[in-house]
Amino acid sequence: MQPERMVIGGSRVDAADGRTLEVRDPADDRVIALVPDGGAEATRAAIDAASDALAGWRRLTARSRAELLRRLASLLRRDRDAIAELMTDEQGKPLAEARGEVEYSASFLDVAAEAGPQFAGEIVPSSTPDRRILVMPEPLGVAAIITPWNFPLAMIARKIAPALAVGCTVVVKPDERTPLCGLRVGELALEAGIPPGVVNVLTGRPQPIGAAILDDPRVRAISFTGSTEVGRMLMAGASRHLARVSLELGGHAPLLVFADADLARAADAAASCKLRNAGQTCICANRILVEAPVAEEFLALLEARIRLHQVGRGRDAGTTIGPLIDDAALEKVERHVADALAKGSRLRLGGARVERPGLARRFFAPTLLDGLDRSMRIWQEETFGPVAAVGRFRDEAEAIAMANDSPYGLAAYFFTRDASRLMRVAEALECGIVGANDALPSTAEAPFGGVKQSGFGREGGRWGLEEFASLKYVSWRI
Ligand code: SIN
Assess whether 273 carries a catalytic annotation: no
**Which three-class secondary structure string do you get for 224-269?**
EECCHHHHHHHHHHHCCCCCEEEEECCCCEEEEECCCCCHHHHHHH
Mean pLDDT of 448-462: 98
pLDDT digits (tens, 9 = 90+) for 179-196: 999 999 999 999 999 999
Q: Which of 155, 433, 459 to mutate to test the pocket of ligand 1 (most atoms within 8 A of CB)?
A: 155
d(CA 283, ligand 1 centre) in Å: 6
Q: Would the CB of 107 count as within 6 Å of ligand 1? A: no
Whole-number pLDDT of residue 139: 98
Q: Would the CB of 283 count as within 6 Å of ligand 1? A: yes
Q: Would the CB of 157 count as within 6 Å of ligand 1? A: no
Whole-number pLDDT of residue 8: 98
Q: Closest Cα to atom 5, ligand 1: which residue?
A: 281
Looking only at the bridges linking them, the beta strands covering 363-364 and 353-354 are: antiparallel
CA angle at residue 272 from 408 to 94, to 5 degrees? 105
pLDDT digits (tens, 9 = 90+) for 49-59: 999 999 999 99
Say yes or no: do domains 6-249+454-477 and 253-443 share a fold: no
Q: Would the CB of 225 count as within 6 Å of ligand 1? A: yes
Instruction: Give the Cβ contact number of residue 288 at 10 Å.
Output: 31
Residue 334 makes CB contacts below 8 A (sequence gap 6+) with 353, 364
Domain ranges within the chain, ordered by starting residue: 6-249+454-477, 253-443
d(CA 36, ligand 1 centre) in Å: 27
Whole-number pLDDT of residue 422: 98
d(CA 282, ligand 1 centre) in Å: 6
For domain 253-443, give the CATH number: 3.40.309.10
CA-to-CA distance for 86 and 65, rounded, in angstroms? 28
pLDDT digits (tens, 9 = 90+) for 114-154: 999 999 999 999 999 999 999 999 999 999 999 999 999 99
Residue 79 makes CB contacts below 8 A (sequence gap 6+) with 102, 184, 188
Q: Closest Cα to atom 6, ligand 1: which residue?
A: 442
| Longest CA–CA separation in the chain, Å | 80
Task: From the candidates 168, 181, 273, 282, give the one annotated as an active-site residue.
Answer: 282
Confidence of residue 261 (pLDDT cuts 50, 70, 90): very high
Whole-number pLDDT of residue 83: 98
Chain Cα centroid distance, residue 222 = 15
Q: What is the mean pLDDT of the chain?
A: 98
d(CA 20, ligand 1 centre) in Å: 29
d(CA 440, ligand 1 centre) in Å: 10
Assess whether 282 carries a catalytic annotation: yes
Whole-number pLDDT of residue 465: 98
Whole-number pLDDT of residue 115: 98
Q: Percentage of residues in the chain with pLDDT exceeding 70?
A: 100
Whole-number pLDDT of residue 379: 97
d(CA 449, ligand 1 centre) in Å: 10
| CATH T-level assignment (fold) for domain 6-249+454-477 | Aldehyde Dehydrogenase; Chain A, domain 1 (3.40.605)
Q: Which of 111, 150, 227, 454 to mutate to test the pocket of ligand 1 (most atoms within 8 A of CB)?
A: 150
Mean pLDDT of 440-461: 98
pLDDT digits (tens, 9 = 90+) for 223-246: 999 999 999 999 999 999 999 999
Whole-number pLDDT of residue 159: 98
pLDDT digits (tens, 9 = 90+) for 203-214: 999 999 999 999
pTM exceeds 0.85: yes
Q: Which of 107, 280, 283 to mutate to test the pocket of ligand 1 (most atoms within 8 A of CB)?
A: 283
Phi, psi dihedrals of residue 261, rounded to the nearest 5°: -75, 160
Whole-number pLDDT of residue 438: 98
Phi, psi dihedrals of residue 452, rounded to the nearest 5°: 50, -140
pLDDT digits (tens, 9 = 90+) for 285-341: 999 999 999 999 999 999 999 999 999 999 999 999 999 999 999 999 999 999 999
Whole-number pLDDT of residue 425: 98
Q: Closest Cα to atom 3, ligand 1: which residue?
A: 282
Instruction: Give the Cβ contact number of residue 331 at 10 Å.
Output: 12
With contact defined as beta carbons under 8 Å apart, do 345 and 372 qualify?
yes
Q: Would the CB of 384 count as within 6 Å of ligand 1? A: no
Q: Would the CB of 151 count as within 6 Å of ligand 1? A: yes
CA-to-CA distance for 31 and 29, rounded, in angstroms? 6
Q: Would the CB of 453 count as within 6 Å of ligand 1? A: no
Q: Would the CB of 281 count as within 6 Å of ligand 1? A: yes
Closest ligand 1 atom number to CA of residue 284: 2
Mean pLDDT of 258-277: 98
